[in-house]
Amino acid sequence: MPVPFEALIPFGLMAGLITVSASGLSMVKYYANDRKPHRYGLDNWEKQMMERDRRMTGSLRGQLAEPTAPAAFATNSVWYLETPRSK
């Protein structure tokens, strides 16, 4: 039994809208990630290095080629958020 041509119009609309929304989401992720592919399957070490890069450069994906850290890196540590325990 042939498919009536009227069924192809809604199918084309749905397929087109799904394609447009998926492409838009992919582009938003790409541009939000400093124009680099999205990272999958991150372990604790990679998350720690991403946090270090964010504190050094202001971006999760940015890295520095200089051997010394900027002066602001000494005071923007996450450890200052914790209070020291008294013994």
**Which tops the pLDDT comparison, 10 or 81?**
10
Q: What is the mean pLDDT of residues 41-47?
A: 92
Lowest mean pLDDT among 2-6, 27-31, 61-65, 75-79: 75-79
**How large is the C-alpha radius of gyration of the chain?**
23
Rounded to 5 degrees, φ, ψ at 34 are 60, 40
Give the mean model confidence (pLDDT) for residues 29-52.
89
Q: What is the pLDDT of residues 46-84, one digit of tens each?
A: 998 888 888 888 888 888 788 787 777 777 766 655 566
Q: What is the pLDDT of residue 18?
A: 98
With bands split at pLDDT 50, 70 and 90, how would you rate the model's confidence at 44? very high
Q: Is 2 helix (H, G, I), strand (E, B) or coil?
A: coil
pLDDT value for 80:
58
